[in-house]
Amino acid sequence: MTFPPIHRLFDALCALSLGALLFIASPAQAQFRVDVSGIGLNQLPIAVSTFRGEDSSPQKIASIVQADLERSGQFRAVEASGAALDESSRPDAPLWRQKGADSLVLGSVTRLVDGRYDVRFRLWDVVRAQDLGGQSYAVTPSDLRLAAHRIADFVYEKLTGDKGAFSTRIAYVTKLPQRYQLWVADADGENAQSALSSPEPIISPAWSPNGSQLAYVSFESRKPVVYTHDVGSGKRRLIANFRGSNSAPAWSPDGSTLAVTLSRSGGSQLYAIAANGGEPRRLAESNSIDTEPAYSPEGKYIYFVSDRGGAPQIYRMPALGGSAERVTFTGSYNISPAISPDGRWLAYISRVSGVFKLHVMDIASGSVNALTDTTADESPSFAPNSRLIVYATQQQGREVLMTTTLDGKIKARLTGQNGNIREPDWGPFQK
């Protein structure tokens, strides 16, 4: 975490209530349904000016960039309408300071003769009147959103020092009556493409470490069976279809192995299977439920859920098997472990007073924070930069996906789909 200059803190405090409200209500956002709640203290005020030529572009680039930055919790949007500027303009820095911005994004989007779009932008530090660099991309119309996410990544990394994860992908499942669909979408939930459609449930999608495949559990043969699925080609591979139930796939960080839960010998027990298929190798043997394996990012441990102590708790053991140690000690129902890619945090779901809430533990100290005020949280998954968690929950009786910062201060609902959305898994950085 970097500490912003004192004037930024002051600005953030002054605009505490106004900033977020203004931009949720801003008419420019009408067609892009960003829904950010909560206020952070150290947010960087940034103006993202409407890109020149956006009126005739299928995607409103500035709105997408702004929504990405707001969702990260690290930025507060400053009103930028009416400025007829682009990446070649030199902005009037004192004017933008007056509006409360520390940084400014200017750009343009131009249709090329071959049907592609040329997207250009430049980032300005208006405090120092300094050009922080820019980029341009020539993209097909379907990749305009991706270009916008790349711009947000550039801005995020320049201004926070951390790598942005806006141009990554998430997988999730939607449920309609008699129809389950597995989707691959942008990290903001938009631009979803269907990877699998089935009359039977699909659960537990998990991205391979290189982002090319999903492992998941499909009930299409009227029992839970584990598949891997190349999302580019649609080619599927049956990984675990043993007697009983087959579930909870988790990739080893090197992509070579899947940890799974099998009941082939009675009870739900942990096994490892080569990612290209083969005979499972038992990882542990207990008389209890062992399930929901999750590798630590360096591959040393498998975290998992077990009720060996009488109630479900999170444990960890060496990745090749061995004696387990208990990790969660508060509460009587702790499930669905997810380890942050930087190895610092454990996100999980804890039942507290009969309701299910997302918690995050600082693994080094063991200290735990509840992050939400919802009651049916499920399936947490970290962004590849470890700065956000996506999770499923319910709002007004509907299943929705939310992102939250690790301090729980900034949450956003992902709005790319109507209907019931569940089972999110955040994919890796793309090469």
Site for another protein in 214-243 (CB under 8 A): 217-224, 229, 231-236, 238, 241-243
Task: Find the part of the chain contacting another protein (CB under 8 A) among 55-63, 65-73, 194-202, 318-326.
Answer: 194-202
Task: Find the part of the chain contacting another protein (CB under 8 A) among 48-56, 70-78, 259-267, 361-369.
Answer: 259-267
Listed in sequence order, the residues at least 6 apart from 340 whose beta carbon sits closer than 8 Å to its beta carbon are 297, 346, 347, 382, 386
CA angle 130, 108, 162 (to 5 degrees): 50
Query: Quick check: 199 binds another protein (CB under 8 A)?
Result: yes
- Count of chain residues binding another protein (CB under 8 A): 81
Is the Cβ of residue 15 or residue 338 nearer to another protein in the bound state?
338
Q: How far is the CB of 194 from another protein (least distance, A)?
A: 4
Alpha-carbon radius of gyration of the chain: 23
Q: In the sheet where 345-352 sits, what is the strand order?
A: 334-339, 345-352, 355-362, 368-370
Q: How far is the CB of 30 from another protein (least distance, A)?
A: 26
Report the alpha-carbon distance of residue 423 to residue 431 in Å, rounded. Answer: 25
Q: How far is the CB of 147 from another protein (least distance, A)?
A: 5
Site for another protein in 391-420 (CB under 8 A): none
Task: Find the part of the chain contacting another protein (CB under 8 A) among 4-12, 49-57, 147-155, 408-416.
Answer: 147-155
Q: How far is the CB of 351 from another protein (least distance, A)?
A: 7
Q: How far is the CB of 222 from another protein (least distance, A)?
A: 7
Site for another protein in 72-111 (CB under 8 A): 87
Is the Cβ of residue 118 or residue 162 nearer to another protein in the bound state?
118
Is the Cβ of residue 159 or residue 335 nearer to another protein in the bound state?
335
Binds another protein by CB under 8 A, chosen from 97, 111, 163, 351: 351
Q: How far is the CB of 116 from another protein (least distance, A)?
A: 7
Q: How far is the CB of 47 from another protein (least distance, A)?
A: 19
